[in-house]
Amino acid sequence: MNQKSFLILSFSNSISSFFRIRIAIILFGWIGITPTSFSQKIVQKSQQQWIQSYHEAKVSSKWTALLDGGFRWKDGFAAPNSYIVRGGMGYSLSPRLRVAGGLAHLGFYAENRVIRQEFRPYQEISHKSSIGKVNLSQRFRLEERFFKSRADSFDFDLMDFNYRLRYSLMVAIPIMRLSAKHPERKLLLNLGDEIFLNAGKEVKNQVFDQNRFILSPSVQWNQSLNIAFTWNTQYASTTIPNHFNLSHVAWLQIRHNLNFINGKEPRN
């Protein structure tokens, strides 16, 4: 099948009522919390640049080791914003359903130095499905967030704390094959939305945390490597009532999968 036929078939398979409903939920959910619906509130705009590398290593038929890390800048790489390192383990309940848990550590910058740190245990469940050639993934994550300033003690009982709930819905649409010799080498368009909600007794007026609308062309080079050039429109609340941050984020994402069951990476 040539690239043109592949493109037509991919899009024709994606045109279903279920798919359109899902996309409508994403788009209207995002539009509903953009600054146009908060015209009476103060919105601070910014530009950010992120790079993040994700690694998954399959160590058995059920268990997968998870590791990712990244760094974030603002104002055209002019100043550091934050870093993140996260590790965990996932257990596959079925080929499409996985539960996972782990711990993340983050640092937040001001005037080129880390002024605040976060320790973030998390638990999640994710599900993957498909509609024709289009892949659909959903994830629900619960986070326990412990914050401390650099001067504070490491006593977790004295740290600021809150829960955070996250729900992500992503679709991956195949656009074209990049190689006749390697059919798995293709160009994809990822489209999705993720909403973040705060919870806990310390949360009073800041239940809405943030929303990310993601548009992400990506190159699936082989079964083990994916490189995505992501545009993330992120709308977030602040600790000041009626003040919000609108960030336009250029985000480079690199995903690498390993398979230690056979003692080697997935084949090209």
Q: Which of 229, 234, 222 is nearest to 253 (CA)?
A: 229
Query: For 235, how many CA atoms within 13 A lie in the half-sphere containing its CB?
Result: 20
Q: Decide if 267 is inside a domain.
A: no
Q: Decide if 234 is inside a domain.
A: yes
Q: Find all residues with CB under 8 Å of 3, minimum gap 6, and list them.
A: 176, 177
Task: Give the tens place of pLDDT for each residue, 201-211.
Answer: 888 778 999 99
Quote the number of domains for the chain: 1
pLDDT band at 4 (very low <50, low <70, confident <90, very high): very low
Is the confidence at residue 25, as pLDDT, over 70?
no
Task: Give the tens place of pLDDT for each residue, 146-175.
Answer: 999 876 666 655 578 999 999 999 999 999
Average pLDDT over the chain reads: 86
Supply the pLDDT for residue 241: 85
Q: Which of 240, 197, 232, 198 is nearest to 43 (CA)?
A: 240
What are 215's strand-pairing partners? 191, 231
Supply the pLDDT for residue 1: 52
Of 20-29, 73-82, 200-209, which range is least confident? 20-29
Residue given tokens 């230690």 in the structure block: 260
Is the confidence at residue 75, as pLDDT, over 70?
yes
Q: Decide if 128 is inside a domain.
A: yes
Q: Which of 227, 215, 138, 231 is nearest to 186 (CA)?
A: 227
Geometric angle at alpha carbon 267, from 266 and 268, rounded to 5°: 125
Mean pLDDT of 192-215: 92
Q: Decide if 105 is inside a domain.
A: yes
Q: Decide if 265 is inside a domain.
A: no
Supply the pLDDT for residue 240: 87
Is the confidence at residue 223, as pLDDT, over 50?
yes
Q: Would you state the structure tokens that stand for residue 162, as one six-digit string?
A: 């809150």
The residue segments making up the domain with residue 153 are: 3-259
The total of other beta-carbon atoms located within 10 Å of residue 38's CB is 14
Q: Decide if 38 is inside a domain.
A: yes
CB environment 97-109: b (16+ within 10 A), e (fewer): ebebebebebbbb
Mean pLDDT of 195-217: 92
Q: Decide if 192 is inside a domain.
A: yes
Task: Give the tens place of pLDDT for each residue, 33-50.
Answer: 544 444 578 999 999 999
CATH number at residue 210: 2.40.160
With a pLDDT cut of 70, the percent of the chain lying above it is: 79
Give the Cα separation of 81 and 77 in Å (integer): 9
Q: Decide if 268 is inside a domain.
A: no
How would DSSP label each residue in the chain? --HHHHHHHHHHHH--HHHHHHHHHHHHHHHTTSGGGGTTSEEEEEEEEEEEEEEEEE-SSSEEEEEEEEEEEETTTTEEEEEEEEEEEEEEEETTEEEEEEEEEEEEEETTEEEEEEEEEEEEEEEEEEETTEEEEEEEEEEEEEEEETTS-S-GGGSEEEEEEEEEEEEEEEEEES-SS-TT-EEEEEEEEEEEEEESTT-SS--EEEEEEEEEEEEE-SSSEEEEEEEEEEEEE-SSTTEEEEEEEEEEEEEEEEETTTTSPPP-
Mean pLDDT of 121-145: 97
Of 26-30, 102-106, 155-159, 248-252, which range is least confident? 26-30
